[in-house]
């Protein structure tokens, strides 16, 4: 027997009704529910088991986010860094930036384009790629995430960063987390406690609520199988290559200093665009 249901209205006017059936242990933990979904559209009722989001992704494409992952003649491209390799020192050192941008991110970019070609995926819409990632080869997931996550990360840091956000973003953070400090604590904890390699995120979820999450490896909140799906507004890389040269094993110190270079301006712009 179905106990609860959720209704999602997609941007493409599909309506998805998600029915949740508790498993035998009667746990109320959401993860223990078996989900069955139906897509309702154009007067038809189609059974579509295990759909948990709109067919083309519930997270709409946004111009600013898309501009951070430009597509050109060679496929997806790395944006030039907006600052010099040593501009974030001592919070992020020059050698780490040079290797991270010039080797790690460049490598993901090259391999992502190769993986797309090998899988005959021709779309240039990165939202669409991640909305179908669970049915894509691992190379598309790992290198696509590596390409996209880093493209955002460079923009979240600036030699003019630090301080506090303002406007609608600050209001939304205070509403969601209680205060800016409580948000920073929650985000820092998510980053510090992510086991192994991964990322922490501030996400505008599918219900329009701000949430903090963490993802393993190069996964991100645009992926259709992410635990918390939504529009990414902020991330921090907690792979060891992001901090080990400067901080060795002191990941917490790297996270503390990340706030000193955080470019709130682009976080606010992404938020305003996402709610618009």
In the complex, the residues that contact Mn ion under the rule CB under 5 A are: 237, 239, 242
Q: How far is the CB of 202 from Mn ion (least distance, A)?
A: 18
Instruction: Give the nearer residue to Mn ion in terms of CB position, either 147 or 187.
Output: 147
Nearest approach, Cβ of residue 34 and Mn ion (Å): 36
**Closer of 103 and 175 to Mn ion (Cβ):** 103
Q: Minimum CB separation from Mn ion for residue 40, in Å?
A: 41
Q: How far is CA 263 from the centre of its chain?
A: 17
- The answer to whether 267 and 165 are in contact (CB under 8 A) is yes
What's the token pair of residue 258?
Answer: 């990340």
Give the residue carrying structure tokens 């154009």. Answer: 42
- What is the distance in angstroms between the CA of the first residue and the CA of the last residue of the chain? 39
| Residue 104 C-beta: closest distance to Mn ion, Å | 5
Contact 199, 215 (CB under 8 A): yes
Angle between helices 251-261 and 180-193 (to 10 degrees): 140
With CB atoms as reference, the residue minimizing the distance to Mn ion is 237
Pick between residue 131 and residue 214 the one whose CB is nearest to Mn ion.
Answer: 214
Q: Which residue, 239 or 247, has its beta carbon nearer to Mn ion?
A: 239
Nearest distance from residue 160's CB to Mn ion, in Å? Answer: 22
Rank residues 65 and 242 by Cβ distance to Mn ion and give the closer one: 242
- How many C-beta atoms surround the C-beta of residue 236 within 10 A? 27
Length in residues, the chain? 276
């Amino acid at each position: 027997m179905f106990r609860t249901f959720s209704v999602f209205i997609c941007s493409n006017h599909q309506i998805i009704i998600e029915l949740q059936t508790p498993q035998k242990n009667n746990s109320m933990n959401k993860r223990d529910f078996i989900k069955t979904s139906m897509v309702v559209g154009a007067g038809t009722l189609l059974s579509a088991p295990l759909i948990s989001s709109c067919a083309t992704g519930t997270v709409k494409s946004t111009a600013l986010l898309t501009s951070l992952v430009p597509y050109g003649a060679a496929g997806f491209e790395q944006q030039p860094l907006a600052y010099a390799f040593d501009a974030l020192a001592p919070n992020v050192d020059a050698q780490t930036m040079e290797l991270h941008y010039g080797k790690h991110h460049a490598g993901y970019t090259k391999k992502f384009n190769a993986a797309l070609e090998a899988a005959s995926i021709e779309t240039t819409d990165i939202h669409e790629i991640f909305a179908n990632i669970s049915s894509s080869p691992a190379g598309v997931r790992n290198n696509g995430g590596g390409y996209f996550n880093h493209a955002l990360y460079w923009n979240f840091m600036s030699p003019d960063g630090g301080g506090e956000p303002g406007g609608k973003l600050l209001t939304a953070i205070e509403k969601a987390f209680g205060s800016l400090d409580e948000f920073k604590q929650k985000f820092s904890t998510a980053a510090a406690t992510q086991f192994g390699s991964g990322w922490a995120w501030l996400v505008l979820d599918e219900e329009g609520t701000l949430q903090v999450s963490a993802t393993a490896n190069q996964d991100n909140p645009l992926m259709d199988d992410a635990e918390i799906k939504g529009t990414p507004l902020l991330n921090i890389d907690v792979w060891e290559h992001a901090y080990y040269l400067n901080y060795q094993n002191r990941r917490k110190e790297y996270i503390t200093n990340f706030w000193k270079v955080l470019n709130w301006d682009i976080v606010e712009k992404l938020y305003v665009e996402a709610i618009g």
